[in-house]
């Protein structure tokens, strides 16, 4: 499985947790999903070759692992709630951008700012 970060890239408390390699693999898979359709040079394994993008992918992967650890994967925060006519959706960030369920908002923002996530057409 392709991973964009190593256990040593994680905060100290997460470097040695059970299944750390699986966590990094799952987070890297989410990064892959988010950048699908982005154009950048890769090596034979599919990793970006540009040193800046290597760091961006690593940072986004680490953000995803940290967020998943803090939120339990986001499952509890992904469901919208409602108070009268006001709807609160935990998958919308502070800028009103819709973040896919199970995705760390900071990782999403980083990849978007770097031009790796593009707006998608949404049908109501």
The tens digit of pLDDT for each residue in 8-62 reads: 999 999 999 999 999 999 999 999 999 998 999 999 999 999 999 999 999 999 9
pLDDT of residue 78: 43
pLDDT tens digits for range 71-95: 986 443 444 445 555 544 545 555 6
| Banded model confidence at residue 119, pLDDT cuts 50, 70, 90 | low
> Where does the pLDDT of residue 123 fall: very low under 50, low under 70, confident under 90, or very high at 90 and above?
low
Cα(67)–Cα(69) distance, rounded to whole angstroms? 5
Question: Where along the chain do its domains lie?
Answer: 7-113
């Amino acid at each position: 499985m392709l991973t964009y970060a190593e256990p040593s890239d994680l905060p100290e408390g997460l470097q040695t947790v059970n299944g750390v390699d699986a966590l990094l693999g799952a987070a890297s898979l989410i990064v892959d999903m988010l950048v699908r359709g982005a154009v950048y040079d890769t090596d034979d394994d599919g990793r970006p070759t540009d040193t800046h993008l290597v760091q961006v992918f690593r940072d986004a992967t680490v953000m995803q692992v940290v967020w998943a650890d803090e939120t339990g994967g986001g499952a509890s925060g992904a469901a919208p709630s409602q108070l009268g006519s006001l709807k609160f959706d935990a998958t919308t960030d502070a800028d009103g951008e819709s973040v896919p369920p199970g995705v760390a908002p900071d990782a999403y923002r980083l990849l978007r700012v770097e031009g790796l996530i593009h707006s998608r057409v949404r049908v109501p």
